Structure 1
Amino acid sequence: METNKTYRFILSGGGTGGHIYPAIAIADELKSRYPDAEFLFVGASDRMEMDKVPQAGYKIEGLWISGIQRKLTLRNLMFPIKLLASLLRSRKIIKAFKPDVVIGTGGFASGPLLQVATSKQIPSLIQEQNSYPGITNKLLGKRVATICVAYEGLEAFFPKEKIRLTGNPIRKDLLEIKDKHIEGKDAFALIHSKHTLLVLGGSLGAKRINELVASQLEFFEAQNVQLIWQCGKLYYDQYKGFNELKHVQVHAFLNRMDMAYAAADMIISRAGAISVSELCIVGKPTIFIPSPNVAEDHQTKNAIAVADKNAAILIREKDLESEFQNQFSELIANDEKRKTLSHNIEALALVDATNAIVNEVEKLLKN
């Protein structure tokens, strides 16, 4: 490998944090190995990556692109025009930046960029976070050199010889929470003799999970359970009044996720790919309540992949009223079940994912 060359990397993906944060983690690891490297992100011009990527210290270019809606809309009629414009813009970006490797982390913005990169024979890699790939990555899988995945069994969607089981990049501070249970409870001023339930619905919040928790506060109190409830910024005004209850803490978002995870004895969470990967690292008994309102119902598929290994409890939204109290009561009462779930979910953790993915990028540089 040339040692005096300044490498140039384009990373593309976005629309949600699940696509953006893995791309940033990969860029950070590449930067630590190649301090002189140049980086450019490419995202959708009207999505959250246009703010989050510059906050992480990287340049970003936007494409005029959006996903296809499931019903006939004006946005769908505009899609061919947006796609053509994005392909032309991607061609200009690649011609000007001259990347050595292009990396896609999913989301519709990565489609045009990697389509152009692969047509120009630029070494390209995609990272698929979910157990069921999105349409963009499914299409790109035939064209790229390497496909880094977080779940087994994706040969049904991608060429087997291109697949590398690496896991999803996760924040490094989560690797250091094992002996911080007391510190975590103290950070939230919690009572040490009570079970602590951490409720997570994502940065914006999860309407159905919030409704469930609000309806079960007396039940939790009767079970000697205290809550760290991250309800999301969209719902904070609606639920902040519950902070008056001694066993409830309502938060719009959590600045110290490591301390929240450390404090928790049990967790209720959505089943986005990055959340699932984090929870495998954290190794706490978890109830997944996947969102049914996402593309190809991929959260349910993510949750099934863990629950089938007796590593978590899966309750679908439609079954919450009939199943939740029974499932939760059994979890609280059964120490052995909690230990088994913790042990089994931890066994699924791929702790070195970012390094593994960047190792694959380095192989493309060498070739």
Structure 2
Amino acid sequence: MSKYKIILSGGGTGGHIYPAIAIANELKSRFPNSEFLFVGAKDRMEMEKVPQAGYEIEGLWISGIQRKLTLKNLMFPFKLLASLIKARKIIKNFKPDVAIGTGGFASGPLLHVAASKKIPTLIQEQNSYAGITNKLLSKKVNKICVAYNDMERFFPKNKIIKTGNPVRQDLLEIENKTVQAKDFFKLKHGKYTLLVIGGSLGALKINELIEDKLEFFETQNTQIIWQCGKLYYQDFKFYNDLEYVQVYPFLNNMDLAYAAADVVISRAGASSVSELSIVGRPVIFIPSPNVAEDHQTKNALAIVENDAAIMIKENELDIDFENKFSQLIASQERQRKLSENIKKLALANATKEIADEVEKLLNK
């Protein structure tokens, strides 16, 4: 049986970490004797989440460039140089057969070094608007797996393979878990369940919306599973005192959270959009306006244009939210239609297809 050394890098947010873990899990099932090593950014959430998934990880001293002049920006050249030196050392010691990057700060130095050493390299871009790290790497790597059409705007056309975004395997099997999920979260079976996910770090605007609308949700016979993000947990955890509200800094059992939900409120990061397409729950997207090229709005619009989700912009929440939410809850037919349509957009085999491309690189 083939035994490989596989190195993966991606992090900063769950949107980069979980695709990398999903790819690693798929490759591990194909090559169980292989060695895996992750490389992340020190002090970021991958240093906790990757070991929880059962993999070793090394940290680089790296962070992104801030949009305004700060001390962190002045430190960036030193961090980059230190990270390149450490990445070179990691590559030299581990001797990988292939290097895989899923975006985020740490993947830049690692994939740059791997490509310069002629190690086969693959990157995966989750968004409809490519991140700066992947744009810089695209000229050097062998293959680029994407989730959207028209990505030749950012990458060499001959390297692009459209696969979709990897998602956690357990999300493909939630249909028969609803009763188990409601019991797991100790939910009432006669009520609507709203799942609120603002991203792995949280979203202040969404948290403020939920806080402001708690009495409204009670009038709608709705109970709430609210992932507020660990940045905001101390501010909102006391709402656990309400019988119909459960506040979490982070949800580790996302398969059960989705299975329990009748409706989901979410940001429109690429990984969230991919997951929600696969689980097929009715969604209200509230895109973050604070991202490069407003790509979350573009991600959400790609779903809304297929009558597969509802989108409300942050600056329209005061006007639109109660009306749109109550209309959705009141109409089983509308919920069914949104579910059916979003499932049609799912690229459920993304993880396997990316692993196929990695396998081709390994067998070259």
- 1:337 is matched with 334
Distance 1:184 1:135 in 2: 39
2:291 is aligned with 1:294: yes
1:17, distance to aligned residue in structure 2 (A): 1.9
Hey, what does 2:143 align to over in structure 1? 146
CA spacing shift, 1:132–1:255, aligned 2, 3 Å: same
The 5-angstrom pairing of residues 99-138 of structure 1 reads: 99-138=96-135
Please say if 1:90 is aligned against 2:87. yes
1:279 to 276, 281, 299: 276
How many residues in Structure 1 have an aligned counterpart in Structure 2?
Answer: 364
**Matched residues in 2 for 1:96 and 1:240: separation?**
44
Alignment match of 2:3 (pick from 3, 6, 12): 6
CA contact (8 A) 1:134 1:296 kept: no
Partner of 1:79: 76
Tell me, what secondary structure is at the counterpart of 1:39?
A: strand
* Alpha-carbon distance in 2 for matches of 1:258, 1:64: 33
Provide structure 1 residue ranges, at least 5 long, that are not aligned to the other structure. none
Measured after TM superposition, the shift of residue 266 of structure 1 is 0.7
Distance 1:259 1:11 in 2: 27
2:236 paired residue number: 239
Report deviation, 1:307: 1.8
Contact kept? 1:65, 1:82, Cα under 8 Å: yes
Following superposition, the deviation at residue 53 of structure 1 comes to 2.4
- Partner residue in 1 for 2:39: 42
* In 2, Cα distance between equivalents of 1:129 and 1:116: 22
Unaligned 5+ residue runs, structure 2? Answer: none
**Change in 2 beyond 3 A, CA 1:331/1:152:** same
Is the Cα–Cα contact under 8 Å of residues 131 and 305 in structure 1 kept in the other structure? no
| Alignment check: 8 A CA contact 2:18 2:168 kept | no
Q: 1:185 to 1:39 in 2, by over 3 A?
A: closer
**1:209-358 paired onto structure 2 within 5 Å:** 209-358=206-355
* SS, match of residue 232 in structure 1: coil
**Could you give the per-residue CA deviations for residues 114-147 of structure 1, whole angstroms, max 9, x where no partner exists?**
1222222221100111121110001112221111
State how far apart, in whole Å, the 2-side matches of 1:97 and 1:189 are.
46
Decide whether the 8 Å contact of 2:14 with 2:200 is kept in 1: no
Indicate conservation of the 8 Å contact 1:231/1:251, yes or no: yes
Q: State the distance in 2 between where 1:254 and 1:227 align.
A: 13
Give deviations 1:11-40, integer Å, cap 9, x for gaps.
112122221222122122212211221222
User: Distance between the aligned counterparts of 1:240 and 1:84, measured in 2?
Assistant: 41
Task: Report the Cα distance in structure 2 between the residues aligned to 1:252 and 1:119, rounded to whole angstroms.
Answer: 40
CA distance in 1, matches of 2:225, 2:46: 28
Question: How far does residue 244 in structure 1 lie from its aligned partner after superposition?
Answer: 4.1
Q: CA RMSD in A?
A: 2.1
Cα separation, partners in 2 of 1:54 and 1:183, compared to 1, 3 Å: closer
Change (3 A) 1:187 1:51: closer
Moved more, 251-260 or 93-102: 251-260
Task: Spell out, residue by residue over 1:195-248, the C-alpha distance to the aligned partner (whole angstroms, 9 max, x if none).
Answer: 221112234432111111121122222223222222233434433443444433
Instruction: Name the stretch that deviates more: 337-346 or 217-226.
Output: 217-226
Task: Please give the secondary structure, in 2, of the residue aligned with 1:57.
Answer: coil
Q: Distance in 2 between matches of 1:23 and 1:237?
A: 29
Stretch moving more, 82-91 or 118-127: 82-91
Greater Cα offset, 227-236 or 345-354 = 227-236
Answer whether contact 1:235 1:252 (CA < 8 A) is retained: yes
Q: 1:66 aligns with which of 48, 63, 79?
A: 63
How far did 1:284 drift?
A: 0.8
Q: 2:23 aligns with which of 23, 26, 32?
A: 26
- The CA distance in 1 between the partners of 2:53 and 2:251, in whole Å, is 18
Q: 1:71 Cα shift?
A: 1.3
Q: Residues of 1 paired with 2:44 and 2:55: CA distance?
A: 16
- Post-superposition offset of 1:364: 0.6
